[in-house]
Amino acid sequence: MKTVFITGASSGIGAALAKAYAQQGARLGLLARRKENLEQLRANLPNPERHHIYAVDVTDHAAVASAAEDFLKQCGQVHIVIANAGISVGTLTEHQGDLPVFDRVFQTNVTATVATFAPFIAAMKTYSKQENCRLVGIGSVAGIRGLPGAEAYSASKAAVISYCESLRVELRKNRIRVVTIAPGYIDTPMTQVNSYPMPFLMPVERFANQAIQTIDAGRSYRVIPWQMGLVAKLLRLLPNPVYDFLFSRAPHKARVEEAGK
């Protein structure tokens, strides 16, 4: 039986992945802050008694490690770990009050990814030659080039992409596949607050199915949907002056204090 551990599992991409894997008959470890949401999600999955929930903040590294230890104890081994937990909010460096937001974004999007993978790697090394083990990092198209007004989010997702690449090379000899998935605009609570047009917006269920195909194939990197993959390639090729001109007036995601108004 396939075993899958997912952070940020209570809503959005994490919940959609949980539902899709449960339909395949996998045994799940679901971690998120909101216990009520996790309980409701588990109750609506096939064979709810098979799955384990952990009401944990991913920035609490000791609690994440404890959850990982319990899941390994309950299941014996884990095949797929998906570090999905993340937050997105507008930030501007010029605002001194945004500095704590930068810290929170990096702690949740970057450091928590490391804290999620770390407890599983030693165990995976013992059986990776017989099993298809995967560590999955969720990046973003926003991490490919810096977007205005999204300094913390773009930087954090760029860090996730580079970190996963480094880890992928490191673990290659152990036959543990590290998969990086960079979503474009996916219809989730995170994007539903955006007040600007979102090209190629994809239903979260379709995204989850394509993400699972990517994970099963062990692909090193993929942008979903494919249209945003083409956009990402173009963004990489644009000279800085052209990119700066085109994106200097791009719409901004609301900052925390703006979103509260």
Q: What was the pLDDT predicted at 107? A: 97
**Is the confidence at residue 48, as pLDDT, over 80?**
yes
Active-site residue (options: 21, 153, 163, 185): 153
Distance CA 46, CA 137 (A): 26
Q: Is 81 helix (H, G, I), strand (E, B) or coil?
A: strand
Task: Map 122-162 to HEC letters.
Answer: HHHHHHCCCCCEEEEEECCHHHCCCCCCEHHHHHHHHHHHH
106 vs 252, residue with greater confidence: 106
Residue 196 annotated among the catalytic residues of the structure: no
Q: What was the pLDDT predicted at 258? A: 45
Q: What was the pLDDT predicted at 249? A: 80
**Is the confidence at residue 257, as pLDDT, over 60?**
no
Which has the minimum average pLDDT: 53-62, 113-122, 239-248? Answer: 239-248
Mean pLDDT over the full length of the chain: 92
Q: Is the peptide bond before 251 cis (omega within 30 degrees of 0)?
A: no
Percent of the chain with pLDDT over 70: 97
Distance CA 213, CA 86 (A): 22
Q: Is 130 exposed, middle or buried (0-12, 13-18, 19+ CB in 10 A)?
A: exposed
Query: Among candidates 63, 41, 224, which has minimal Cα distance to 138?
Result: 224
E strand or H helix that includes residue 27: strand 27-32
Order of all β-strands in the sheet with 27-32? 52-55, 27-32, 3-7, 80-83, 133-138, 176-183, 221-224
Copy the structure tokens of residue 230.
Answer: 């083409």
**Is the confidence at residue 260, as pLDDT, over 60?**
no
Distance CA 12, CA 37 (A): 11
How far apart, in Å, do the first and last CA atoms of the chain sit? 48
**Is the confidence at residue 6, as pLDDT, over 90?**
yes
90-148 pLDDT, tens per residue? 888 888 888 999 999 999 999 999 999 999 999 999 988 778 899 999 999 999 998 88
155-184 pLDDT, tens per residue? 999 999 999 999 999 999 999 999 999 999
